Chain A
């Protein structure tokens, strides 16, 4: 039974999320070092974290006639939404707030990234930034529908929108096993809403880092942190949705939650270095012509199973 944890979970959940994100960044740096043929040492792993200090001390860049209010709110929205999304994710048997509409809450927070990134692209009054923002919206139109059907599949299978109950409903068999399409689509969605790897189109090199291009200092740090926080949050949500939550032999529930989250995170970090960047128009076509019908069929499967149970 998932219960609402006490007050100390309120700072603990963001801290755990941040730890996961730092581990993901370090893992990504190690993979980068391996690909470049550099030695895989601790120094190579923590190198991207030095960037934090540099960004905190960096002088902010000024643009002519920026919309500071919208720019700042967009930049802040991305990491804040990532932290808010993780409030409904149970860690072991405890969640900060096991809302009765947890799945919809997660989805709504994830959609806030659309607004955040578009604003971050609009704010600096620069063409490439705005193009980056538009690219994310185009990408969002592509990944969102299949992702929603994936979430619906898991919720239908458990007959509940409460994330804790979805985890409990997988006592016998993980949803990832009998809803593989939904699982894969969900993981693709996670990469897409953290705009990393193959979905790094909004921050592409061809538009000089797009949304990130004109940001500097703390703004850039917040946006970059938001990406990795979203990746971690998505990995954490995959565990109760598709991988049985904290269930597992031997270890306590929280340990299984942490272990599974880290495994999903490692898989995502590995995948995002393996795939080339996808153009949004290509992915829209793939998503609407192939993934949406597939994920609708996938959502039909748990509906029929639940109906005949």
Chain B
């Protein structure tokens, strides 16, 4: 890595940590969400600088969508979304600080004590191709599992979140046509 990359890496790292701290210090839920977005975008930037542009940009793309959706839920469920009346929403702050501090110290110690092996091999010219080929080849099982997990999530999340099932829409014998929906019209109705 040359100097410019190192400088960018350092800046992104500091910003990511600062964003992470802001997540739990800001009062406004909108600011909290977008502090987290900033932090995770910096994570995407770090991944890009480390030579994985595809994954880095995809992380940024996904995080922006996720955090905007998260902001919607924050505003919907939090009692004080704009943070105009600051209040603490913590429990067991001292214990949490102790645990996370201990974990941090342990991890950092491990990072510096572990005798890391030397670098093996050189990065391929196209890292996007590398991950694609791996997921469609030797890591196919991983990909299949991830696919099923995502499918199960889609179904499960929809079932949990919806309050109107098919019996509400189509009647007790599932024979009511058109479906009884709050808004009339739509595709196929």
A and B touch in the complex (CB under 8 A): yes
Q: Which residues of A contact B (CB under 8 A)?
A: 65, 67, 69-70, 73, 99-101, 104-105, 107-108, 111-112, 114-115, 118-119, 122, 125, 134, 137, 140, 144, 161, 281-282, 285-286, 289-290
Q: Do residues A114 and B128 form an inter-chain contact, with CB atoms below 8 A? A: no
Q: Bound complex: CA of A115 vs CA of B58, how far in Å?
A: 16
Q: Bound complex: CA of A278 vs CA of B30, how far in Å?
A: 28
Question: At the interface with chain A, which of B8-16, B67-75, B94-102, B165-173?
Answer: B67-75
Q: Do residues B61 and A107 form an inter-chain contact, with CB atoms below 8 A? A: yes
Q: Bound complex: CA of A53 vs CA of B64, how far in Å?
A: 33
Q: Bound complex: CA of A208 vs CA of B61, how far in Å?
A: 31
Given contact pairs A104-B54, A118-B68, A119-B34, A111 touches B61 in the complex (Cβ within 8 A)? yes
Q: Which residues of B contact A (CB under 8 A)?
A: 28, 30-31, 34, 37, 53-54, 57-58, 60-61, 64-65, 67-69, 71-72, 82, 84, 126, 128, 183, 185-188
Q: Bound complex: CA of A122 vs CA of B28, how far in Å?
A: 11
Which of chain B's residues have a CB closer than 8 A to the CB of A125?
A: 82
Q: Do residues A99 and B64 form an inter-chain contact, with CB atoms below 8 A? A: no
Given contact pairs A70-B30, A100-B126, A122-B30, A286 touches B187 in the complex (Cβ within 8 A)? yes
How many cross-chain pairs have Cβ atoms below 8 Å apart between A and B?
Answer: 69
Q: Do residues A111 and B72 form an inter-chain contact, with CB atoms below 8 A? A: no
Q: Bound complex: CA of A119 vs CA of B38, how far in Å?
A: 14
Which of chain A's residues have a CB closer than 8 A to the CB of B60?
A: 108
Q: Bound complex: CA of A31 vs CA of B113, how far in Å?
A: 71
Q: Do residues A108 and B61 form an inter-chain contact, with CB atoms below 8 A? A: yes
Q: Do residues B61 and A100 form an inter-chain contact, with CB atoms below 8 A? A: no
From the candidates A67, A70, A101, name the one contacting B128 in the complex (CB within 8 A).
A101
Q: Bound complex: CA of A285 vs CA of B30, how far in Å?
A: 28
Q: Bound complex: CA of A108 vs CA of B67, how far in Å?
A: 13
Given contact pairs A137-B69, A282-B185, A289-B187, A70 touches B61 in the complex (Cβ within 8 A)? no
Which of chain A's residues have a CB closer than 8 A to the CB of B128?
A: 100-101, 161
Q: Nearest chain B CB to A87's CB is how many angstroms away?
A: 13
Q: Nearest chain B CB to A50's CB is how many angstroms away?
A: 34
Which of chain A's residues have a CB closer than 8 A to the CB of B69?
A: 137
Q: Do residues A161 and B187 form an inter-chain contact, with CB atoms below 8 A? A: no
Give A136's nearest chain B residue, CB to CB.
B68
